[in-house]
Structure 1
Amino acid sequence: MIKLYGTPPTRALRAMWLLNELDLAHEIVSIDLGAGEQLTPEFLALNPAAKLPVLVDGDLVVSESAAIQLYLADKYGGRFPGGGLIPATPEDRGQMYRWLFFLMTEIEAPLWRIALHSFLYAPDEQSAAEIALARRDCKRMIAIFEQHMQGRDFVVGAQVTVADFNAAYTLDWAKLEDMLDDAPALSAYLNSMYARPKAPVTIAKAMAELDA
């Protein structure tokens, strides 16, 4: 059985969404970051970077949430109604990769910088100036993605692809930071993605459940 190390609200949600959409039997293995379970020899043998998520499928170990998404879609996409989650033509695949990497490098990266300087770094390492710069950079890139999504139901083509499941989680994170107020197309798109029957919990809901 497939094992996924990591639980909401971490980036494991990206992988969980693909597992749900593909109806793949899997086991969720919780890793308590606060207790340092990501630093145990057993987990470091899976991912020396000590980060979540990690997918184990037989003898194969895959880390990095976007890589996990692409792997699942590539191997098991035939199970998805209407075909795979990776476009059929090189041209459409190129556009999917373009926006997938754009999301990871241009929108998620500043969101991660905000998280680091807000609560993950030690207090003496945190920088309000760095947070302000990250918010500026992120909003600029969100504006570009907002323009791309005008009149679109999906990131690429006429059906859902891996890029959409990545985008939904990333935009949900941006929403949590109040960055979608000037992005009506992205807000509507985000709502439509999380209205899917097999969508996972939102980041906000997962965080509320942790605090409960």
Structure 2
Amino acid sequence: MITLHGHPFSRAHRVMWMLKELGLPFEHVPTDFRGGATRTPQHLAINPNGRVPALVDGDLTLFESLAINLYLARRYGGPLAPADVAEEALATQWSFWVATEVEKPLLLAAANLMLFAEGGRDADQAALACRKLDRPLRVMESHLAMLPYLLGERFTVADLNVSAVMTLIPITGVPLADYPKVAAWLDRCLERPAAADWKPITFSIPRPPTEAGILAMFV
């Protein structure tokens, strides 16, 4: 039995989506990072970083959501899995790309547009973060002008990993008017039935005093 530790409002959603796409039964341990549950000795024994998600599959314990999804695709196969070693490399490439090029400015934009409590939002910081997203989004726009999905004609783990990171775009209103191919692709990905839990974020958070503190809150 697979066990997933994490809360749907965290990066654990990415793994929940993958497990549902694959039709794999799993036990969900709803570990909420907002209440200190990720800092207990029991959770630190599973993920010593004190973060979520963490996945246990038999004797294997994994953390890092995008790596977990790549493992699940490799281990259990199915239509989302890479068809060959070249597709596996490309799925890894896009997963690293979204983590290094998109996630940080997107988190900063989303926080200042909606996620911070109203008095802690900064419109100038939101605009700056959106400008930083322009370069990677133009890379993606150019790529999707040639293909409907990141690896070709079908939805794969590469699309799931990238779009799961980008769920904050429709939630918080980060503009995509200049990137119509990206917008259409993201809609297709997030309309999949297994992705349904991405929508309901109903909480706000106080603004930390530093940028490092901002990023540390999104575990």
Q: TM-score band (shorter)?
A: 0.7 to 0.9
Letter in 2 for 1:45: A
Contact kept, 8 Å, 1:139 with 1:179, in 2: the verdict is no
Q: Corresponding residue for 1:15? A: 15
How many pairs are equivalent?
199
Please give the alpha-carbon distance, in whole angstroms, between the structure 2 residues aligned to 1:178 and 1:129.
14
Match of residue 94, structure 1, among 89, 105, 110: 89
Give the secondary structure class of the aligned counterpart of 1:200.
helix
Please give the alpha-carbon distance, in whole angstroms, between the structure 1 residues aligned to 2:151 and 2:200.
28
Contact kept, 8 Å, 1:3 with 1:27, in 2: the verdict is yes
Q: Corresponding residue for 1:58? A: 58
Q: Corresponding residue for 1:34? A: 34
Letter in 1 for 2:169: A
Shift, 1:166, TM fit = 1.0
Give the secondary structure class of the aligned counterpart of 2:35.
coil
Contact kept, 8 Å, 2:94 with 2:158, in 1: the verdict is yes
With over 3 angstroms needed to count, the CA separation of the structure-2 counterparts of 1:161 and 1:135, relative to structure 1, is: same
Percent identity among equivalent residues?
Answer: 37
TM-score by length of 2: 0.79
Please give the alpha-carbon distance, in whole angstroms, between the structure 2 residues aligned to 1:184 and 1:84.
24
Shift, 1:64, TM fit = 0.3
Equivalences for 1:34-183 in 2 at 5 Å?
A: 34-77=34-77, 80=78, 83=79, 85-90=81-86, 92-114=87-109, 119=116, 131-175=126-170, 176-183=172-179
1:184 matches 2:184: no
**Uncovered stretches (5+) of structure 1, i.e. residues with no partner:** none
Please give the alpha-carbon distance, in whole angstroms, between the structure 2 residues aligned to 1:200 and 1:55.
20
Q: Corresponding residue for 2:210? A: none
Give the secondary structure class of the aligned counterpart of 1:156.
coil
1:206 matches 2:200: yes
TM-score by length of 1: 0.82
Contact kept, 8 Å, 1:146 with 1:183, in 2: the verdict is yes
Please give the alpha-carbon distance, in whole angstroms, between the structure 2 residues aligned to 1:49 and 1:131.
28
Across the aligned residues of Structure 1 and Structure 2, the Cα RMSD in angstroms comes to: 2.5
Please give the alpha-carbon distance, in whole angstroms, between the structure 2 residues aligned to 1:138 and 1:84.
27
Shift, 1:113, TM fit = 4.0
Contact kept, 8 Å, 2:109 with 2:174, in 1: the verdict is no
Please give the alpha-carbon distance, in whole angstroms, between the structure 2 residues aligned to 1:159 and 1:115.
29
Letter in 2 for 1:63: F
Contact kept, 8 Å, 2:101 with 2:136, in 1: the verdict is yes
With over 3 angstroms needed to count, the CA separation of the structure-2 counterparts of 1:11 and 1:40, relative to structure 1, is: same
Please give the alpha-carbon distance, in whole angstroms, between the structure 2 residues aligned to 1:12 and 1:107.
18
CA deviations 1:23-58 (Å, max 9, x no partner) are: 111011111222211111111111111111111112
**Uncovered stretches (5+) of structure 2, i.e. residues with no partner:** 205-219
Structure 1 stretch 178-187 or stretch 61-70: which is displaced more?
178-187
Please give the alpha-carbon distance, in whole angstroms, between the structure 1 residues aligned to 2:102 and 2:175.
11
Letter in 1 for 2:20: N
Contact kept, 8 Å, 2:110 with 2:169, in 1: the verdict is no
